Structure 1
Amino acid sequence: MSVDYKSRLRELQIQLVMLQRHLIASDQRLLVLIEGRDAAGKDGLIKRITRHMSPRETRVVALGKPSDRDRSSWYFQRHVPHLPANGEFVLFNRSWYNRAGVEWVMGFCSETEYEGFFRDVLTFERLLVSSGTTVLKYYLDISYSEQAERLAERKTSPLTSWKISPIDAVALEKFDDYSRARDRMLAETGSEDLPWRVVAADSKKRTRLAVIADILRSVDCPHFTPPEPGEGAPVLHRTGSGKHLS
């Protein structure tokens, strides 16, 4: 990419630190949901967002397989303890939207549970917003060829082998099923007040710059001028509003 990635990333990370200081000083709560296909770059994006931020006020939530108690409780219940308090910035590396994607495609939930999720999710999120929490939802989308390349790399790299899971084994086989699940999720859970920010994420570097810039533009902070997406930014648009961000 023609823009210098490292210098641009550093500029944005400096503004993230300024944003965090503002969140703490003003007792604001920020919740960012990072969703997307397997190998879409969620982990790398989150690492660049949090690298220089305060570990006391910044938390990354990546919940594992639900327990028997989780499965017998209200679906959103196990996520609630991890929501941000005043001054906190919380990122979910996959969230309650697992039900609309992985759980449905892989047959881990019933049709009743699946339909109930769509009935309840925006009501749940609007309760968070009305209580003072800013909620930003990002979906990282990659092409079939890019996903195939990244999943193959996981198998051969000693640095990423820990990411391999049984879900990966069928990700490509079920690519079209995930596409259909994604389309319904974006259509039914992206609204004017709670839009999805959808990123064409085949370029990891461009995705990181675009998402961080969008977070900074989406939260009012008097200490800096919100950045523009920058040259070469990927397509990033909002569902529910029709507004293109880049």
Structure 2
Amino acid sequence: MDKGHFPGEENLTTQIQQFQADIMDDLDEELELEMDDRRLDALVDAGPDDGTDLPRARYFSELLRLQGELVKLQDWVVHQKLKVVVLFEGRDSAGKGGAIKRITQRLNPRVCRVAALPAPNERERTQWYFQRYASHLPAGGEIVLFDRSWYNRAGVEKVMGFCTDDEYEEFFRSVVEFERMLIRSGTILIKYWFSISDEEQNKRFLMRIHDPLKQWKLSPMDLESRRRWEDYTRAKEVMFERTHTADSPWWVVEGDDKKRARLNCMAHFLSRIPYDEVPHQPVVLPPRVHHDDYIRHPVPESMKVPHIY
């Protein structure tokens, strides 16, 4: 053994490098919020690549391009009064939330909103299963992204024993017709499954455990799902077999590389809805009205937020 070399040292070094790459990814998220085309080159030159095969410069430029197209799609949805529903499903830490964040980042929240429903309460448990989801469906001119959806019954509820076998079977008898009804009513329905490998999920869970800013993302349910990896795999396979239909197919997003997964999902989403650019009248800022008799009152010092920074 070389001097200074210990068993497992390479593995520890690799984990540290992976954690550093994950931290860089978090910093990139903050850059994305502040970024525009004019500042792109300066931002991507401010630091090294994040260690993936996708250079940061290309990632940022493609992200901005796709987000620009999403704005055009949003305008088209409003113009044509389209109803769009997108389901995001997948294992814990597979990247659903990151993709949703990039899709909605530059869109109007009155047009594109996220439905992330908590566990059903006592009243909701007595309702028709799809009822609480139906209340979040879009009207004309709206896009709704479901961060987990009615497929909870085919996944977590089945694996964790939160539903009976009869309820599980009734879900499969109903869901295909429920989705056909949505589609017949004019709703555009797109279903994504974010796929992640066993090894990558383990790495992301470790990152959350050791990062105080991410520990809130780990719930006891998440930890139990990690233990029941194979049970979730079987449940997913049954779900695909029984709900992947010609008029409502599943689309699988390979999620081990978070940046590629986000871009691939965004590009595919755009490809599923034919759209054109909606012409807009030029925006002209009107002159401000001034009143000679108006005197602006000073703000009391006691009301001002202290200048800490």
Shorter-chain TM-score above 0.5: yes
Corresponding residue number in structure 2 for 1:57: 111
- Within the alignment, does 1:163 sit opposite 2:227 as a pair? no
Residue equivalent to 2:243: 189
* Correspondence list, 1:138-177, <5 A: 138-177=192-231
Matches within 5 A, 1:205-224: 205-223=259-277
Match of 1:52, SS state, is coil
Distance in 2 (alpha carbons) for counterparts of 1:125 and 1:91: 15
Q: What is aligned with 1:233?
A: none
- The answer to whether the aligner puts 1:34 opposite 2:88 as a matched pair is yes
CA distance, structure 1, for counterparts of residue 141 and residue 276 of structure 2: 16
Instruction: Give distance in 2, aligned partners of 1:30 and 1:153.
Output: 34
User: 1 CA distance for matches of 2:220 and 2:90?
Assistant: 17
What is the SS of the residue equivalent to 1:191?
coil
Equivalence map 1:1-246=2 (5 Å): 1-2=53-54, 4-223=58-277
CA distance in 2, matches of 1:178, 1:187: 14
Structure (1 or 2) with the larger CA radius of gyration: 2
Q: Residues 129-179 of structure 1, C-alpha deviation per residue, up to 9 Å, x if partnerless?
A: 111110000000111111111111112222222211111111221000000
More deviation, 154-163/175-184: 154-163
State the partner residue of 1:237: none
Structure 2 spans left out of the alignment, 5+ residues:
1-52, 279-309
| Aligned amino acid, residue 89 of structure 2 | E
Backbone CA RMSD of aligned residues: 1.1
| Deviation, structure 1 residue 222 | 2.2
Amino acid at match of 1:186: F
After superposition, what is the alpha-carbon deviation per residue over 1:97-143, rounded to whole angstroms, capped at 9, x for unaligned? 00000000001100000011011001001111111110000000111
Pairs aligned (count): 224
Q: Which runs of 4+ in 1 moved over 3 A?
A: none
Deviations 1:187-213 (A, max 9, x none): 110111100001221011010011100
Under a length normalisation based on structure 1, what TM-score does the superposition of the two structures give?
0.89
Which residue pairs with 2:49 in the alignment?
A: none
Q: Distance in 1 between matches of 2:210 and 2:136?
A: 34
Residue type of the partner of 1:94? R
CA contact (8 A) 2:66 2:267 kept: yes
Unmatched segments (≥5 aa) in structure 1: 225-246
CA contact (8 A) 2:75 2:277 kept: no
Write the letter of the residue equivalent to 2:276.
Answer: P
TM-score (norm 2): 0.71
Question: SS of the counterpart of 2:192?
Answer: strand
Which residue number in structure 1 is paired with residue 289 of structure 2? none
